[in-house]
């Protein structure tokens, strides 16, 4: 039996022979037609052009002769001389292109007749002869020869034109014959190609289609189909290979199902025993796996619809995780702890929803994992720390007030004069007490913010006025330090929702930090620009910058980078900035390189309206 290779060679070989035959016949016919056309162009056309040139030259010579009768000898001489050269050239071409019978005899008469004609021209245009004699010579001798020469040229022209017509008719007949022959050959080739294409469908396409249907069914999971091979060619052997593959896949599927069922049962049992509330959801929000705490405390039992539990926090986190394809958790950590009672004990949980994918790349999620992190112990530790800090701070405030008052009274010398050494010690004590008061106030402030007891009044506020007020408050300090302070903002910023006094404190902390690390001659720039979530504010300085290893710790309470002035504080200013901005629903960050300055930025949510403040491109104090 012929294989696919032999069938293709047989079919395409026949088509190749047909195409070659058509090409050879076409080239032969084109060559014949080319020779016929070449005869017309090469032989007859040259003679026709030469005869036309001779006739036109004779007409112009005759016109030149007539000009001599009109008293215009110069123009007569020019016409006669120029066209005699043209006539001689055309006559020479004709005599060298004799191709037809009778053409040579006719052309052979022209030279002698033209010589006599030329002699008569010289006599007729001779101005020394009487005019009447010249006219008589023209009418009796020159003009008859002129007509005879034109007649001979016309005879040669007619002879060549007639031959051109005959050659054209022969070429047309040859073209028609070639057209019929090529049409017959093409029709034969089309018939052979049609037969071959029908055979190809039966030999190759139909078996391949059956294989494609089988592959589609296998892709859908239907491995119970069996192909019936047609013949022993390559496709028949491929069908047998498909049958063997399907049998192997059926065997492997049975084994995989047993292993999956065993693994799933083991996973479910281990998963249930985990102490952390965890649930695995499909993309529709239905629970596939869940630990016992997730079922007991949150109702996330296998088979339940998580979206139908009425937990708004869960639906929001699921939607955000699917939309962003990344872990989703409450935007302000610590404000959305979930409270549940496990027996008699109150427990707090921080929810996180993770998108799950089957691969390692950034592909579309195939499910979701809900993690409820137990933060009860952490929350209790934070509350204990806040309580201790608040208690100590409150306890320190009263003696500090008495100490400050005593120091002020001593320095006022209302209780007696101080010697220089005593005054110096009193001043140092006053400065340290003021520093201690600032630290206590910062501790109390951050405790109030973190515990939610800080009183904040959010109102629509013009961002331009915020940066202008901040620049105005610190302009004198900048001038004293020799630092250039500037503020700028575009004119179309939206209004933001903010507590004006708290944001003023944010700017004060950021600008104090910038002044502390910017040398004289440097600059500080306060900026504002539109942001997708609202307005982004920036405080940029040209100070010494921050090392990269400290950037992720800069907003932590009590963190102070090595090398700072011990009198610069205890590291609470930036922590207060972060907590204040978070309670406003914004974000805060820092960008810095050593020796290149530092950029602190924060965002505030917009209210949706236009700013009511002045519309200026740049605000300077």
Answer whether residue 614 shows pLDDT above 50.
no
Of 198 and 549, which is predicted with more confidence?
549
Q: Can you give the pLDDT at residue 529? A: 93
Average pLDDT over residues 173-180: 78
Q: Can you give the pLDDT at residue 478? A: 92
Cβ atoms within 10 Å of 54's Cβ, excluding its own: 28
Residue with tokens 């019978």, as numbered in its chain? 101
Model confidence pLDDT, tens digit, residues 559-603 = 666 656 555 555 677 888 888 898 888 999 999 988 889 999 999
What DSSP line would sit under 144-157, residue for residue? HHHHHHHHHHHHHH
Instruction: Please report which confidence band the pLDDT of residue 618 belongs to, taking 50, 70 and 90 as the band edges.
Output: very low
Q: Can you give the pLDDT at residue 620? A: 39
Model confidence pLDDT, tens digit, residues 279-332 = 888 888 888 888 888 888 888 888 888 888 877 778 888 888 888 888 888 765
Q: Can you give the pLDDT at residue 460? A: 93
Tell me which residue of 533, 522, 531, 418 sits closest to 478, measured CA to CA: 522
Q: Collapsing DSSP states into helix, strand and coil, what is residue 412?
A: helix
Q: What is the CA radius of gyration of the chain?
A: 55
Q: Are 486 and 616 contacting, i.e. CB atoms less than 8 angstroms apart? A: no
The whole model's pTM is what? 0.41
Tell me which residue of 318, 302, 317 sits closest to 367, measured CA to CA: 318
**Most confidently modeled of 342-351, 372-381, 434-443, 500-509?**
500-509
Tokens of 555: 């907003």
Model confidence pLDDT, tens digit, residues 191-210 = 877 777 777 666 666 677 77
Tokens of 411: 């320095």
Q: Can you give the pLDDT at residue 345? A: 76
Q: Are 113 and 145 contacting, i.e. CB atoms less than 8 angstroms apart? A: yes
Residues in the chain: 621
Q: Are 247 and 220 contacting, i.e. CB atoms less than 8 angstroms apart? A: no
Of 357 and 400, which is predicted with more confidence?
357
Q: Which residues pair with 485 in a beta bridge?
A: 524
Average pLDDT over residues 366-388: 72
Instruction: Please report which confidence band the pLDDT of residue 451 belongs to, taking 50, 70 and 90 as the band edges.
Output: low
Domains of the chain with bracketed CATH: 4-196 (1.20.120.1730), 274-374 (3.30.450.20), 382-451 (1.10.287), 459-619 (3.30.565.10)
Instruction: Please report which confidence band the pLDDT of residue 612 belongs to, taking 50, 70 and 90 as the band edges.
Output: very low
Average pLDDT over residues 215-231: 70
Q: Which residues pair with 541 in a beta bridge?
A: 524, 598
Of 175 and 601, which is predicted with more confidence?
601
Interatomic CA distance for residues 151 and 117, integer angstroms:
14
Q: 369-396 in b/e burial notation, b at 16+ Cβ within 10 A?
A: bbbbebbbeebeeeeeebeebbeebeeb
Answer whether residue 341 shows pLDDT above 90.
no
Q: Which residues contact 400 (CB under 8 A, 6 or more apart)?
A: 433, 436, 437, 440
Q: Are 394 and 443 contacting, i.e. CB atoms less than 8 angstroms apart? A: no
Tell me which residue of 338, 451, 329 sits closest to 393, measured CA to CA: 451
Q: Are 336 and 330 contacting, i.e. CB atoms less than 8 angstroms apart? A: yes
Residue with tokens 């590291």, as numbered in its chain? 571
Interatomic CA distance for residues 574 and 551, integer angstroms:
12
Task: Provide the mean pLDDT of the chain.
Answer: 78
If 0-12 CB within 10 Å is exposed, 13-18 middle and 19+ buried, where does residue 178 land? middle
Q: Are 605 and 584 contacting, i.e. CB atoms less than 8 angstroms apart? A: yes
Residue with tokens 């028949």, as numbered in its chain? 236
What are 230-239's contacts with CB under 8 Å, separation 24+? 231/1, 232/1, 233/1, 233/2, 233/3, 233/4, 233/7, 233/203, 234/3, 234/4, 234/5, 235/4, 235/204, 235/207, 235/208, 235/211, 236/207, 238/211, 239/207, 239/210, 239/211
Residue 578: C-alpha distances to residues 152, 216, 320 (Å): 115, 58, 24
Q: Cα-flanking dihedrals φ and ψ of residue 490, to 5°?
A: -70, 160
């Amino acid at each position: 039996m012929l294989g696919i290779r032999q069938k293709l060679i047989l079919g395409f070989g026949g088509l190749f022979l047909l195409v070659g035959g058509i090409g050879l016949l076409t080239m032969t016919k084109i060559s014949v037609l080319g020779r016929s056309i070449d005869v017309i162009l090469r032989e007859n056309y040259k003679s026709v052009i030469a005869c036309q040139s001779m006739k036109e030259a004779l007409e112009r010579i005759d016109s030149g002769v007539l000009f001599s009768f009109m008293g215009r000898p110069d123009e007569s001489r020019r016409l006669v001389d120029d066209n005699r050269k043209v006539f001689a050239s055309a006559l020479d071409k004709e005599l060298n292109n004799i191709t037809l019978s009778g053409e040579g005899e006719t052309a052979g008469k022209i030279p002698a007749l033209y010589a006599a004609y030329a002699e008569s021209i010289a006599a007729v245009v001779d101005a020394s002869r009487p005019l009447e004699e010249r006219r008589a010579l023209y009418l009796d001798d020159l003009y008859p020869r002129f007509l005879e020469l034109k007649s001979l040229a016309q005879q040669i022209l007619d002879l060549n034109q007639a031959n051109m017509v005959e050659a054209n008719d022969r070429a047309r007949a040859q073209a028609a014959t070639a057209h019929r022959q090529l049409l017959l050959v093409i029709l034969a080739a089309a018939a052979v190609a049609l037969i071959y294409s029908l055979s190809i469908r039966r030999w190759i396409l139909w078996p391949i289609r059956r294989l494609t249907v089988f592959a589609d069914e296998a892709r859908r999971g239907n491995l119970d189909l069996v192909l019936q091979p047609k013949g022993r060619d390559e496709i028949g052997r491929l069908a047998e290979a498909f049958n063997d593959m399907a049998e192997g896949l059926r065997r492997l599927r049975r084994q995989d199902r047993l292993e999956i069922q065993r693994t799933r049962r083991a996973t479910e049992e281990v998963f249930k025993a985990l102490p952390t509330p965890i649930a695995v959801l499909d993309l529709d929000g239905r629970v596939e796996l869940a630990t016992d705490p997730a079922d007991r405390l949150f109702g996330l039992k296998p088979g339940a619809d998580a979206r139908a539990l009425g937990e708004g926090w869960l639906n929001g986190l699921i939607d955000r995780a699917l939309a962003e394809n990344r872990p989703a958790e409450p935007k302000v950590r610590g404000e959305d702890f979930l409270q549940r009672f496990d027996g008699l004990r109150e427990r707090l949980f921080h929810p996180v929803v993770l998108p799950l994918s089957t691969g390692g790349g950034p592909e579309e999620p195939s499910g979701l994992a809900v993690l409820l992190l137990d933060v009860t112990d952490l929350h209790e530790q934070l509350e204990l720390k806040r309580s201790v800090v608040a208690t100590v701070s409150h306890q320190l405030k009263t003696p500090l007030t008495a100490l400050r008052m005593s120091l002020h009274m001593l320095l006022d010398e209302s209780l007696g004069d101080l010697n220089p050494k005593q005054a110096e010690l009193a001043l140092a004590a006053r400065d340290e007490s003021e520093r201690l008061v600032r630290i206590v106030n910062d501790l109390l402030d951050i405790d109030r913010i973190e515990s939610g007891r800080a009183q904040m009044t959010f109102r629509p506020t013009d961002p331009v006025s915020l940066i202008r007020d901040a620049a105005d408050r610190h302009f004198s300090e900048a001038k004293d330090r020799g630092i250039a302070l500037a503020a700028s903002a575009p004119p179309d910023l939206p209004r933001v929702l903010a507590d004006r006094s708290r944001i003023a404190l944010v700017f004060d902390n950021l600008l104090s930090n910038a002044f502390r690390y910017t040398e004289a001659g440097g600059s500080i720039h306060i900026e504002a620009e539109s942001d997708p979530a609202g307005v982004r504010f920036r405080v940029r300085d040209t100070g010494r910058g921050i090392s990269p290893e400290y950037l992720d710790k800069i907003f932590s309470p009590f963190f102070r980078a090595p090398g700072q002035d011990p009198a610069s504080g205890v590291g609470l200013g930036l922590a207060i900035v972060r907590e204040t901005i978070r309670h406003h629903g914004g974000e805060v960050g820092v960008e810095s390189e050593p020796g290149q300055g530092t950029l602190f930025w924060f965002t505030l949510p917009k209210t949706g309206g236009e700013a009511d403040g002045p519309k200026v491109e740049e605000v300077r104090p």
